[in-house]
Structure 1
């Protein structure tokens, strides 16, 4: 494996108050970086003080959008032990996305060792308060300077750390979401299943317009503006009186780690969960009939966010009286209890931090 060096800061920053973290507003003292060059392989792997990256203005990431990232978390258990939540899932998704964007993914051992070493260096940044964690952002970008449409022959891999609280200002209360009927997030054969920076760039305008109207997120539909795909930062589940439905992965929906974990929990309880195509018309029709009991989003950042209001075709549709539903509450409590060590990790999701 590539040797990892350490260059630790002599001027550590003051920790932000754990009750004022917000999301993604603070960064730790260090980051992990490594470089890939075609014909040479991976090199220059190191834990270094957090700071600006040096990139040529001609780097492919600036001109051709070769960029993707992962979102994952580390938690401080009640015992004080630090654990990662399903890091293997994130590695494999990163590697699959890298292949789609023609970037070189780091070997799994380099990814994992870099992850452990940078978090160990900044362990003091892992907050202890309720609903807090250390958010981890592994990132790959094309770094070769050239002008011409082809894959970069150089890849820069880096990992950033950010202590975080709740993703939404609503905390764990239900959120309002806007069904997007004009713009598209992704199309068949495109990048919808990859955590590519381009996906998020294309979603910004609709999200900005929705927030101006008072909605926390956008519910994206397919090219026919009928099939439900995902919410901007989350996958989505609908709890009907006879089944629990989440849109089937169709190549334009991101395979979320929390989505996968929730599916495992639901199936372990023998609950009637199905992955299939579901349309916005079906959701509204069944809501009008009283068959939709609750809806919620799942994602690394927010874990589980109940949906209290769904806007579609000029009307706000209220779900479950705009209150937290029993199933989403149960699932949130269970998954966060596992992450904190208050409940047994029977599905082997947690990986202890190596020191």
Structure 2
């Protein structure tokens, strides 16, 4: 693959930085990365340009058939003032996994990481430094060919945009209430559940809207066939501590392979704590809650990092977990992951990548 130079065009006018409490994903930085794909040239013309609106043909395939993939990761300011990333190689590898499922040409992962580092070097002063804040990074690819036939696009646009953010959930590290979904289905084996694509999230919106009106933070999805085995929360993978053992649903083709999920499994093994990946049913959770062996539950994801679950509601029953308090394991995982991400703790896994400032 030929070496490509990333062209940079700087914004003439800089936006004011946000002040006060940051919401998630509402403010965007001065610049973004853009790269085009055509059948004749492949991926070409990588650029960092001022953040701007897109001009697309109304017949672009993205609008009609949803051929798109995306990723989510973060940049942090360490105590030494450096900007650093957390396992970005995993995100770009997963982006290519999603590309394969959605019939999108694979990107050069090294070029993508280099582009991200250059973009972050330009936008370093956008990375917030208050406790719990970070710069959210959204790489994504959309199909841009104007064509109304059902077929993979022959043209694509790869972009990276940045947004300074605070906590994903208003509860922060405090436990959230989760509703178990029995009616709607997010994904099934053979579908696109293990790809990070827009349609999966659009399919989740109805259930999320319903439960949010009842005070729940998220939906816990069950398998789409028997509707009995736990899969994932809308924006997170999920773990349960039952009788001293940490259990997370095994990857089965309809569950997203979370980067934070993998990091948590590695940390638990590093601490010599028992952790298994297997099928787990809501019936098993119900029995553990009733006999007192359900000790903790928490979600894992880039946006929230670790989100303790204080209550699960299923078929009209409320299961209060750990008296609705944050569990010891969830707290230790949160402190360790954020400690590594912000450079406050040793990184024994070489997960962090430093960004060279301009």
Length-normalised TM-score, structure 2: 0.98
| Partner Cα separation in structure 2 for residue 163 and residue 177 of structure 1 | 26
Q: State whether structure 2 residue 38 is matched by structure 1 residue 68.
A: no
Q: Deviations over 1:95-148 (max 9, x none)?
A: 010010011222112211211111111111000010001100000111111110
Counterparts of 1:167-316 in structure 2, within 5 Å, are 167-222=168-223, 223-316=225-318
Corresponding residue number in structure 2 for 1:7? 9
Structure 1 CA distance, aligned partners of 2:335 and 2:150? 48
2:81 alignment partner in structure 1 = 80
> What does residue range 130-145 of structure 1 map to in structure 2 within 5 Å?
130-145=131-146
CA distance in 1, matches of 2:5, 2:343: 33
Q: Does 2:101 match 1:100?
A: yes
Contact 1:219–1:228, Cα closer than 8 Å, also in 2: yes
Partner of 1:54: 55
Q: What is the deviation of 1:296?
A: 0.1
Q: Which residue of 2 aligns with 1:346?
A: 348
Structure 2 Cα separation of the partners of residues 256 and 285 of structure 1: 27
Tell me if the contact between 1:2 and 1:42 (Cα under 8 Å) persists in the aligned partners: no
Aligned-residue offset at 1:44:
2.3
Question: What is the SS of the residue equivalent to 1:20?
Answer: coil
| Cα distance in 1 between the residues matched to 2:34 and 2:143 | 14
Cα deviation, residue 78, structure 1: 0.6
Deviation for aligned residue 1:242: 3.3
What secondary structure, in the 3-state scheme, does the structure 1 residue paired with 2:18 have?
coil
Structure 2: gaps (5+ residues): none
Q: Secondary structure at the match of 2:202?
A: helix
- Provide the secondary structure at the position in 2 that maps to 1:187: coil
Measure, in 1, the Cα distance between the counterparts of 2:49 and 2:324.
46
| CA shift for structure 1 position 171 | 1.4
What is the correspondence of 1:31-46 to structure 2 with a 5 Å cutoff?
A: 31-46=32-47
Aligned match of 1:159: 160
State how far apart, in whole Å, the 1-side matches of 2:106 and 2:166 are: 30
For residues 17 and 7 of structure 2, the distance between their equivalents in structure 1, rounded to whole angstroms, comes to 25
- Superposed CA deviations along residues 293-351 of structure 1, whole A, max 9, x for unmatched, are 01000000000000001010012111011000011001100111111111111100000
**Contact conserved, 1:303 with 1:332, CA < 8 A, in 2?**
yes
Partner residue in 2 for 1:329: 331
Per the alignment, residue 111 of structure 1 pairs with 112
Query: Which stretch of the first structure deviates more once superposed, 308-317 or 247-256?
Result: 308-317
In the TM superposition, residue 159 of structure 1 has moved relative to its aligned partner by 0.2
How far does the alpha carbon of each residue in 1:204-250 deviate from its partner, in whole angstroms, 9 at most, with x for none?
A: 00001010111000000002110000000000000111311000000
Stretch deviating more after TM superposition (252-261 or 39-48): 39-48
Is residue 74–residue 85 contact of structure 1 (8 Å, CA) maintained in 2?
yes
Deviations 1:74-94 (A, max 9, x none): 110011011010000001000
**How many residues are matched?**
354
Instruction: Output the CA distance in 2 between the equivalents of 1:5 and 1:197.
Output: 29
2:118 match: secondary structure: helix
Taking the aligned partners of 1:2 and 1:197, their CA distance within structure 2 comes to 29
Whole-angstrom distance in 1 between the partners of 2:345 and 2:247: 26
Structure 2 counterpart SS, 1:114: helix
* Aligned-residue offset at 1:10: 1.3
